[in-house]
Chains A and B, each alone.
Chain A
Amino acid sequence: GESVGLHLPTLSVQEGDNSIINCAYSNSASDYFIWYKQESGKGPQFIIDIRSNMDKRQGQRVTVLLNKTVKHLSLQIAATQPGDSAVYFCAEIAQTGANNLFFGTGTRLTVIP
């Protein structure tokens, strides 16, 4: 399954399928991008980050892709599990500085068993 930017804030996928969550950012000067996961009733949890001089970064079951040409960021989750159900936020940092973190509104991922 695949969401399209911030216009489709929900995404439903079958357990075991791969998920792709997309995010469009606006500031071409952003240096870093972070994906957060927020489960119901909890605060956002850091998943993975990527620097603007990279195109791809992999973690455990997650991959982040960055396309600076079109200012697009995506989070790919392999073999999606029920525990992956959550809201996923991308955040951009315009410069290395804690106060310059800007969050997207998020995409709600629902995993269907």
Chain B
Amino acid sequence: DVKVTQSSRYLVKRTGEKVFLECVQDMDHENMFWYRQDPGLGLRLIYFSYDVKMKEKGDIPEGYSVSREKKERFSLILESASTNQTSMYLCASSLPTSGRPDTQYFGPGTRLTVL
């Protein structure tokens, strides 16, 4: 089974702090993603990565950056956390398969609260 793990289930930070959210997958997937999930807005893509050291902006990249130094690990960074970044953050990974959609497998999520 695909396993995607996230470093924290719950996190509380203060405004202005630098925040690191870590995600690790154990299935050698090439693609990795960071989403945030908010009530009434569904899942929104922040950043994704097709390969090591490669990153692409999603729909809402402002206020975030990412790092992918190793294939299995994709980090989301909040350089200076703000209260509007309080949310559930979901990491996902997928393996490109010719002729089929890239089904994404999700981690359990990190609920971040910024005070």
Give the B-binding residues of A (Cβ under 8 A). Answer: 31-32, 34, 36, 41-46, 49, 89, 93, 96-99, 101, 103-106
B45 and A99 within 8 A (CB): yes
B102 and A96 within 8 A (CB): yes
A98 and B102 within 8 A (CB): yes
Cβ distance A91 to chain B, nearest Cβ, rounded Å? 8
Bound CA span A45–B1, Å: 12
| Partner-binding segment picked from B68-76, B77-85, B103-111 | B103-111
Report the tally of A-B residue pairs with Cβ distances under 8 A: 60
Give the residues in chain A near B107, CB-CB below 8 Å: 43
Residue ID in chain B nearest A42 by CB atoms: B108
B43 and A98 within 8 A (CB): no
Cβ distance B46 to chain A, nearest Cβ, rounded Å? 12
Residue ID in chain A nearest B88 by CB atoms: A43
B94 and A98 within 8 A (CB): yes
Q: Which 4 A-B pairs have the closest CB atoms?
A: A43-B106, A98-B102, A32-B101, A105-B42
Q: Which residues of B in the span 29-61 have a Cβ within 8 Å of any Cβ on A?
A: 31, 33, 40-43, 45, 48, 50, 56, 58
A44 and B101 within 8 A (CB): no
CB of B63 within 8 Å of the partner chain: no
Residue ID in chain B nearest A96 by CB atoms: B101
B101 and A43 within 8 A (CB): no
Q: Quick one: which of B42, B99, B104 contacts A96, CB cutoff 8 A?
A: B99
Cβ distance B34 to chain A, nearest Cβ, rounded Å? 12
Q: Quick one: which of B58, B91, B99, B105 contacts A46, CB cutoff 8 A?
A: B105
Residue ID in chain A nearest B10 by CB atoms: A41
Residue ID in chain B nearest A6 by CB atoms: B42
12 chain-A/chain-B pairs, Cβ below 8 angstroms: A42-B108, A43-B91, A44-B90, A89-B43, A93-B102, A96-B102, A98-B94, A98-B96, A101-B45, A103-B43, A104-B42, A106-B42
